[in-house]
């Protein structure tokens, strides 16, 4: 099975690129983030025509996550236990955001995750990001306590560069989000909960990235960040036979600012 994740940065803008790549790359399951549309606006038909079932959650023009699968799509769930909400309005109750979607595909529990950005160290959104990651860690650890043999993939845009090798210039990012120690500790806590970055062994750094800002010619200058990951439970990690960051998809007309990331899984 081939499992991929891609922050598409607006599925309606990037639809032709996404479905074309799906056909060419022979992907079985694609988790998408930042779809930027409501459920009613999501362009399901082109996926169905390619043989994919689709689950999506989107409440407005922000965030949004989806899973497209041609190997089954079962037990779809929006959000995980304890997932915190967000509100930018003083005094307003925090509301859930469209940032987590789970489904079982050919026996693999896939979670499409769009971790909050954090905006700036010390911003309320930064505290929300850390709370969100802590809740995800607790939920994921619970899934493995309940079933140590569970095959779980936590995939998506984590908005964290876990090491200095994962950014083009540690000095440029000093004091910013994505590289702060609390964020890196939050990411490490999920690894400590027995999840493994199964892409990095096949794509060693430094200088290997998944995201390049649209500004300042970051992509041709190779000034990027590695912030998109596939983290696998122990039972799933043992099935990974290959992995790739598909840098070519960041090229061409109207690309996303992220590249797809994929793994190949051996049969059980």
- Is residue 197 among the annotated active site residues? no
Mean pLDDT calculated for residue range 36-55: 98
159 is in an annotated binding site: yes
Phi, psi at residue 211, to the nearest 5°?
-140, 140
Kind and range of the H or E run holding 137: helix 124-146
Element at 230 (helix H, strand E):
strand 228-232
- For residue 91, is pLDDT > 90? no
Catalytic residue among 52, 114, 128, 209: 114
Q: Report pLDDT digits (tens) over 11-32.
A: 999 999 999 999 999 999 999 9
Q: Which of 157, 149, 115 is nearest to 235 (CA)?
A: 149
- 157 annotated active-site: yes
Give the mean model confidence (pLDDT) for residues 53-57: 98
pLDDT attached to residue 60: 92
Q: Under a CB-based contact definition with an 8 Å cutoff, are residues 65 and 35 in contact? A: yes
pLDDT mean over 257-263? 98
Q: Which CATH class is domain 1-263?
A: alpha beta
Mean pLDDT (the chain) is 97
* Domains of the chain, residue spans: 1-263
Tell whether residue 183 is among the known ligand binding residues.
no
How does pLDDT run across 155-206, given as a tens digit for each residue?
Answer: 999 999 999 999 999 999 999 999 999 999 999 999 999 999 999 999 999 9
* pLDDT of amino acid 223: 98
Q: Any binding-site annotation on 157? A: yes
Query: Is 267 assigned a catalytic role?
Result: no
pLDDT, tens digit, 9 for 90 and up, residues 200-243:
999 999 999 999 999 999 999 999 999 999 999 999 999 999 99
């Amino acid at each position: 099975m081939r499992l991929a994740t891609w922050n598409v940065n607006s599925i309606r803008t990037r639809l032709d690129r996404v479905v074309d790549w799906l056909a060419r790359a022979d992907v079985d399951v694609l988790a998408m983030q930042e779809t930027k549309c409501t459920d009613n606006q999501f362009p399901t038909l082109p996926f169905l025509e390619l043989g994919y079932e689709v689950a999506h959650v989107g409440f407005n023009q922000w965030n949004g996550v989806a899973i497209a699968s041609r190997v089954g799509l079962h037990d779809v769930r929006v959000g995980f236990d304890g997932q915190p909400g967000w509100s930018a309005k003083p005094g307003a109750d925090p509301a859930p955001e469209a940032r987590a979607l789970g489904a079982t595909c050919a026996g693999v529990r896939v979670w499409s995750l769009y971790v909050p950005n954090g905006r700036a160290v010390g911003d309320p959104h930064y505290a929300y990001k850390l709370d969100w990651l802590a809740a995800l860690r607790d939920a994921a650890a619970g899934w493995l306590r309940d079933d140590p043999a569970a095959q779980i993939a936590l995939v998506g845009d984590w908005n964290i560069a876990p090491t200095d090798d994962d950014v083009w210039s540690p000095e440029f990012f000093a004091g910013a989000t994505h590289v702060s120690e609390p964020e890196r500790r939050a990411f490490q806590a999920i690894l400590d909960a027995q999840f493994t970055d199964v892409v990095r062994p096949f794509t060693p750094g430094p200088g290997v990235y998944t995201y390049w800002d649209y500004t300042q010619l970051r992509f041709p200058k190779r000034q990027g960040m590695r912030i998109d990951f596939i983290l696998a439970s122990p039972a799933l990690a043992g099935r990974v036979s290959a992995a790739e960051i598909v840098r070519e998809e960041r090229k061409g007309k109207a690309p996303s600012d992220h590249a797809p990331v994929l793994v190949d899984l051996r049969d059980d």
